[in-house]
Structures are given as structure tokens and as C-alpha cells.
Amino acid sequence: MALLPILVYPDPRLHTVAKPVAAVDDRIRALVKDMLETMYDANGIGLAATQVDVHERLIVIDTSEERDEPMVLINPELTWASEEVQVGDEGCLSVPGIYDGVERSSAIRVQALDEHGQSREIAAEGLLAVCIQHEMDHLRGKVFVEYLSPLKRNRIKTKMLKARRETTERV
């Protein structure tokens, strides 16, 4: 297993629309392991392949307290979303240190394949529902800051670019 570099906003590759996974094979299973290791190492609860510069429809999630219930969603499709919404502070491994309110459906159902290629339907609510919707946005090339006002988005972009410059200067 290996830690993968996580793309940081405003990297243009984060806006790439992911293609469907053609086959759930050893390459995909190895990617799943690497993505889980990367997510856990970064203290995240979700990671989309897009965030590690692999533009295929693959998500890993673990919202458990013990961090021992990984979930793999390959080629996820939203099949239902509640009309009831909730606004919660979201953060993102690709936008480190930034949290802001985003409106999401409070309950959803998703159809996806697992790491063995088995089809499954997941009914989710609360944090898991928010996390799945957030990660599925990444597969569509959308970062959560795009739900914010243009002013907030520009401030975040400036802050991320400044942090990147400072990191580069130190190296």
C-alpha cells in the first residue's frame, strides 16, 4: 500500500469529470487500499479518486468512530434523495483547514459496486448521506466551495494559493 498525493484546491484537475470504472480488478482493489490508507492518514472520512488524480468513479468512506468500517463505492449512482435538506459545516481534504455550511439532502439512496464487483444499494442519512453526496460531487468535478458565494470562494482560493506558495518557498 502507498500514500497518494491529494490534489489541493484550486488545482484544475479537481474539475475533471470521472469516467466509469470499466472493471473491478486487481488494479482497482489496489487503488482502493491506497485510497483508504491515504484517507485514514489524512484524518478524513471520505476520499474520491478524483482527489488523488485518478479520474474514475470510485469513492472510499469511513464515518465510524473507530475508523474500522470502510465503505467502497464504485460507479455510484444516486437513486433517490429526500426533499428534506440540512445545512452542515463541511470540510475537504482538498481544501485543508476550510469549513463552511453546505445544503444537502438529509437522506439518500445510492446504487454502487463494492471492491468485489458486487452490486449494492445503500440507504444513508445524516453524516454518511452528506459524505456520499460530497464525494459524488468530486466525481462530477465539483468541490464543495462551489456551493459558497463567489466572495467566499475567491477568499478560499487566495488562501490556498498563498499556502502553496509558502510551502514551495520553504522547500
Query: Of 12, 68, 2, 76, nearest to 32 (Cα)?
Result: 2
- Say if residues 119 and 147 touch (Cβ distance below 8 Å): no
Query: Of 46, 128, 126, nearest to 91 (Cα)?
Result: 46
**Integer Cα distance of 24 and 7 in angstroms:** 24
Confirm whether residue 15 is marked as ligand binding: no
Active-site residue flag, 135:
yes
Confirm whether residue 131 is marked as ligand binding: no
Q: In the sheet that 71-81 helps form, which strands lie side by side, from edge to edge?
A: 46-48, 58-61, 71-81, 107-113, 119-125
Identify the DSSP state of 5: P
Confirm whether residue 134 is marked as ligand binding: yes
Instruction: Out of 135, 146, 166, 169, pick the active-site residue.
Output: 135
The dihedrals phi and psi of 110, each to the nearest 5 degrees, come to -130, 140
- Binding-site residues, in ranges, read 92, 134, 138
- Binding-site residues for Fe cation, in ranges, read 92, 134, 138
Q: Annotated catalytic sites, by residue?
A: 135
